[in-house]
Structure 1
Amino acid sequence: MKLDKPVAGGPCWAEVGTPDLKAAEGFYGELFGWRAETDSRAEMGGYTIAHVGQLPVAGIVPLGAEPAPVTWFVTFAVADVDATVERIRSAGGTVVFEPGEVPGMGRFASVADPQGAGFHVWQARGFEGAGLLNEPGSLGWVELMSRQPDRSVDFYTTVFGWSVNASERYTQWGLDGADFGGMVTMDDKFPPEVPPHWLPYFAVADVDASATTATEAGGTVLMDPTTVRDSLRIAVLRDPPGAMFGVYLAGAEV
């Protein structure tokens, strides 16, 4: 990721929904060295912010009794949540949760693109999002899994004004020349029951060691550590309840 801080239109946060908050704190603490702080306000429902040192890097959301997805959600910063939600609707997306206030922090909505890939949009009002990007233990890349890539390009360029750097091998998303994410076309290798989705990647100092640590902590390696080009080494992992995410070698050009 060429972005070193949250900017309008770019990824600013990632959060995982989990049925067991303490277990998630233990797993990600072991894997990334995160230090967790739970918001004590009743209206926050146990929302927990993970830190690297003193800097916030991700959210951990305790799921209630009602069925809810055990998954990672990517959040994009916007200047105006309400205006962005209207663009999403006009472009064929859906709104899962209408815009609302997070007291003392910002304004938020949960949405999905026309293929159903969910994400969040965030208008900062006191909390900008990740205080660290592209460093070990922090968000460094976001990747869309899409079954209709042309439709995805139309949607996201319309909603966010992203630049598109496409080759036969891969499509990358960017803002003013700063690429922060990519898109993978879901071919026959993806089971039909797997829906389009966003996948966050976190920077780590050692991809192979992280895959081993995740397994020892009860997680699963979905894609073994692989060098995709030059020094870029990646792996895709799953935490014990089933939330998928990626890791990549910090400092490598994505």
Structure 2
Amino acid sequence: MSQRSGYDPGIPCWVDLSSTDVEASARFYGEVFGWQADMIDDPEAGGYGMFLHQGKHVAGLGPVMGAESPSFWNMFVATDDAAALAERVRKAGGTVTMDPMAVFDEGVMTVFQAPDSSYAAAWQAGNHRGAELVNEPVSFCWNELVTRDPQAAEGFYAAVFGWTPNLQEMEGIKYTEWHRGERAIAGMVEMFSDYPAATPSFWMTYFAVADLEATMAAAEGAGATVLVRAMEAPPGRFSMLTDPQGAAFSIIELHEIA
């Protein structure tokens, strides 16, 4: 099992879902991934909870902030100093939308918007050190920036996280792998023209699955919409979906477990 007890700075460490209907989202991902939702019984937690798989924390779940906000998956990157990271965000031309804030004794988080309009978050670990299970069914295995401005995103994320871009071409599509040292830790692709014009740049979360077709069928049966059906990529076959609350996510049947 790909178990984790912590993450080095600059490595994606957690994902959570901001949902317009938390109870419905808990049911959906329970049906599709077999996750159990463990909601925090404290009013100060704001309705936040954890998704568990085999007793391990694999993702978070909470309500959207504001009635007009859509459902979406968030990416968190590990940092050893959230305040210093927020300052790097500002110097690199980004906007800090949530100043570093202690979350009980679990850790410190900050949220920001990059110059390409994408949102991301950083997490300075306390008692909560991030996802305890990754890279195997049914846990997150990859995060990919779908951006309208690759040049702006490249300079920004390199400055904030120390990532190095590695541009590749796959079947005529330019794809950037973000590296931290020798390790590929995230990806980036320019947004295709068939996206709706109002779609901003965003981070897509990929979840590993054991059987792509079976998971896709389960997701559709539970109310998901399939946007991209069973495409091949070097790591494995993948599909892109939106859940019944409208949050986009991808599933992938990996050739190898990292």
Range into which the TM-score falls when normalised by the shorter chain:
over 0.9
Deviation at 1:64, TM superposition (A): 6.2
Alpha-carbon contact 1:133-1:139 (below 8 Å) kept: yes
Q: Which runs of 5+ in 1 are unaligned?
A: none
| Separation (CA, whole Å) in 2 of partners of 1:244 and 1:73 | 11
| Equivalent AA in structure 2 for residue 96 of structure 1 | T
Deviation at 1:85, TM superposition (A): 0.5
Alpha-carbon contact 1:49-1:56 (below 8 Å) kept: yes
Q: Indicate whether 1:240 and 2:244 are aligned.
A: yes
Deviation string, structure 1 residues 153-207 (Cα, Å, up to 9, x no partner): 1111111111222113321012121112111111423232111000010110011
**SS of residue matched to 1:127:** coil
Aligned to 1:24: 25
| Separation (CA, whole Å) in 2 of partners of 1:81 and 1:45 | 21
| Equivalent AA in structure 1 for residue 12 of structure 2 | P
Aligned to 1:205: 210
Alpha-carbon contact 2:17-2:71 (below 8 Å) kept: yes
Aligned to 1:228: 233
**SS of residue matched to 2:117:** coil
Aligned to 1:179: 184
Q: How does 1:25-174 map to 2 (within 5 A)?
A: 25-63=26-64, 66-169=67-170, 170-174=175-179
Q: Indicate whether 1:195 and 2:196 are aligned.
A: no
Moved more, 166-175 or 57-66: 57-66
**SS of residue matched to 1:92:** coil
| Separation (CA, whole Å) in 2 of partners of 1:38 and 1:173 | 33
Deviation string, structure 1 residues 107-136 (Cα, Å, up to 9, x no partner): 011111101101111100111110011011
Q: 1:97 to 1:69 in 2, by over 3 A?
A: farther
Deviation at 1:3, TM superposition (A): 10
| Separation (CA, whole Å) in 2 of partners of 1:74 and 1:148 | 19
Q: 1:167 to 1:65 in 2, by over 3 A?
A: closer
Alpha-carbon contact 1:3-1:179 (below 8 Å) kept: no
TM-score normalized by the length of structure 2: 0.92
| Equivalent AA in structure 2 for residue 246 of structure 1 | S
| Separation (CA, whole Å) in 2 of partners of 1:223 and 1:75 | 25
Q: 1:159 to 1:126 in 2, by over 3 A?
A: same
**SS of residue matched to 1:205:** coil
Alpha-carbon contact 1:117-1:196 (below 8 Å) kept: yes
Alpha-carbon contact 2:3-2:133 (below 8 Å) kept: no
| Separation (CA, whole Å) in 2 of partners of 1:149 and 1:63 | 27
| Separation (CA, whole Å) in 1 of partners of 2:30 and 2:179 | 30
Moved more, 136-145 or 146-155: 146-155
TM-score normalized by the length of structure 1: 0.94
Q: After the TM superposition, which segments of 4 or more aligned residues of structure 1 sit over 6 Å from their partners?
A: none
Alpha-carbon contact 1:6-1:130 (below 8 Å) kept: no
| Equivalent AA in structure 2 for residue 174 of structure 1 | H
Deviation at 1:251, TM superposition (A): 4.5
| Equivalent AA in structure 1 for residue 46 of structure 2 | G
Moved more, 143-152 or 56-65: 56-65
Alpha-carbon contact 1:232-1:253 (below 8 Å) kept: no
The percent of aligned pairs where both chains have the same amino acid is 37
Alpha-carbon contact 1:163-1:177 (below 8 Å) kept: no
Deviation string, structure 1 residues 48-101 (Cα, Å, up to 9, x no partner): 100111110101112366332311111111110010001001101111111111
Alpha-carbon contact 1:110-1:118 (below 8 Å) kept: yes
How many correspondences in the alignment? 252
**SS of residue matched to 1:167:** strand
